[in-house]
Amino acid sequence: MTVSKLPEISARRRRTDKFMRGTLVAAFVLALIPLVLVIYYLIYKGIGTWSKSFFTTDPNGNFFGYPGGARSAILGSIEIVGLASLISIPIGIGVALYLVEYGKQTAFANFVRYLTDVMTGVPSIVFGLFIYIVLVEAKVGGSGFTAWKGSIAVALLMLPVVARSAEVVLLLVPGSLREAALALGAPRWRVVWRIVLPTARSGLVTGSLLAIARGMGETAPLLFTTAGVFGLTFNLNAQMNAMPLQIYNDILSPRTEVNNRAWGIALVLVTLILILNLLARAVSRRSRVA
């Protein structure tokens, strides 16, 4: 029996390999610990504050007794982010269309691409300051702090997310589809409207949903633009409450009941964001099959 055998890997090298593999697994588990802890505490502390009155009353700011629910914060967030989406999604997709259909690899298009990347990196608080300087301090629209200014600040944060994800998706639309339509005599705008956008629809929806999810959780820009109030309002040209603002204010409160409400609102907020993320994933998965 003379089977030639490869020399065995030395014990030291095997030990190192095992140790490093173990370290990598440990690092992965370590990375998940904060996620588990955050979600556990959100549910543990938050679910108890959910009640009928939590969803049907507004925070009241009283020093004693029931501190009120979170209705104005939840509805305010939806209003502010809704308007922000109406602003940022069309503009973002428009910019992406410019980059893919017209700009392509020209120097200007690459510069715009670079700028959208830069915008992703600008801290959200700086966008808050911008809007404060340009719109709040100047009292545009008659009053200082208003909800629509917060929407614009949030829209500025969502814009690069929408634009960059839309560009990736639009690039995936096969050139042959565009050429076929053009060869049949369709004008450019009709090609964009009837061929490019519908083909990329699910990808665009995914990117937009992720951007909305991001906009939902923003606190810093709202701090300088909408300046939360307790009451419920549907007037976008007035101060408005929002979930992140109410959480922030509730954390700073010395009252335990108010602190607990922060957990409840945070649970609502994170649940909404997770739903948006799951929706986005579901939409993008469906598109990959088709």
Q: Check residue 259 for interaction with other proteins (CB under 8 A).
A: yes
CA-CA-CA-CA dihedral for 50, 55, 60, 63, to nearest 10: -10
Tokens of 20: 């490093």
CA atoms within 13 A on the CB side of 87: 20
Site for other proteins (CB under 8 A): which residue of 1, 28, 65, 142? 28
Could you give the CA distance from residue 231 to residue 241 in angstroms, rounded to a whole number? 7
Q: Check residue 34 for interaction with other proteins (CB under 8 A).
A: yes
| Residues near 58 by beta carbon (within 8 Å), at least 6 away in sequence | 68, 69, 70, 71, 72, 230, 231, 232, 241
Minimum CB distance to other proteins, residue 266 (Å): 5
Contact 226, 149 (CB under 8 A): yes
Could you give the CA distance from residue 124 to residue 154 in angstroms, rounded to a whole number? 8
Site for other proteins (CB under 8 A): which residue of 74, 170, 200, 224? 224
Residue with tokens 């409840």: 264
Of residues 41 through 60, those in contact with other proteins by CB under 8 A are 41-42, 45
Could you give the CA distance from residue 159 to residue 152 in angstroms, rounded to a whole number? 10
Binding-site residue total for other proteins (CB under 8 A)? 95
Q: Check residue 103 for interaction with other proteins (CB under 8 A).
A: yes
Site for other proteins (CB under 8 A): which residue of 3, 27, 183, 184? 27
Q: Check residue 25 for interaction with other proteins (CB under 8 A).
A: yes
Of residues 72 through 91, those in contact with other proteins by CB under 8 A are 91
Q: Check residue 289 for interaction with other proteins (CB under 8 A).
A: no
Q: Check residue 226 for interaction with other proteins (CB under 8 A).
A: no
Q: Check residue 220 for interaction with other proteins (CB under 8 A).
A: yes
Of residues 154 through 193, those in contact with other proteins by CB under 8 A are 156-157, 159, 161, 164-165, 167-168, 172, 187-189, 192
Q: Check residue 16 for interaction with other proteins (CB under 8 A).
A: yes
Q: Check residue 129 for interaction with other proteins (CB under 8 A).
A: yes
Of residues 266 through 285, those in contact with other proteins by CB under 8 A are 266, 269-270, 273-274, 277, 281
**Cβ neighbours, 10 Å, residue 92:** 27
